[in-house]
Copies of this chain bind each other. A is one copy, B any other.
Amino acid sequence: MASPTAAIIVVGNEILSGKVADSNSAFAARELRAAGVSLERITVIPDDIGVIADTVRDYQPRFDVIFTSGGVGPTHDDVTIAGVARGLDVPVVLDPTLLEAIRQFGGEMTAPRRKMAEVPEGAEALIVGKLNFPIVRIRNLYILPGIPEIFREKLSALKAQLTTEPFFLSTVYLQVAESSVAPQLNNTLSAFPQLLLGSYPKFGDGDYRVRVTFESKDAGYVERAVQHLVAQLSASIIVRIE
Contact = CB atoms under 8 A, between A and B. Distances in A.
Contacts of A61: none
A130 interface: no
A178 to B, nearest CB: 6
Interface of A: 13-23, 25-26, 29-34, 38-46, 73-77, 110-113, 115-116, 147-150, 167, 169, 178-180, 182-183, 185-186, 189, 196-201, 203-204, 213, 215
B76 A182 contact: yes
Contacts of A17: 29, 33, 39, 167, 196, 215
Contact of A21 (B26, B150, B178, B198): B26
Nearest to A149: B203
B29 A183 contact: no
Contacts of A32: 18
B15 A76 contact: no
Given A17-B215, A18-B29, 17 more contacts: A14-B200, A18-B30, A19-B169, A21-B23, A22-B26, A40-B45, A41-B44, A42-B42, A73-B178, A73-B201, A76-B185, A77-B197, A77-B198, A111-B182, A111-B183, A116-B179, A147-B201
A204 B149 contact: yes
A4 to B, nearest CB: 14
Given A33-B18, A112-B179, A113-B179, A43 B41 contact: yes
A232 to B, nearest CB: 15
Nearest to A14: B198
A64 to B, nearest CB: 15
A199 B29 contact: no
A157 to B, nearest CB: 17
B14 A213 contact: yes
A50 to B, nearest CB: 12
24 contacts: A13-B196, A15-B26, A16-B38, A16-B39, A16-B41, A17-B29, A17-B167, A18-B26, A18-B30, A18-B31, A18-B32, A20-B200, A21-B23, A22-B26, A41-B43, A42-B44, A43-B44, A73-B179, A75-B182, A76-B189, A113-B179, A115-B182, A116-B179, A148-B203
Given A41-B43, A110-B179, A213 B29 contact: no
Given A44-B42, A44-B43, A179-B112, A75 B16 contact: no
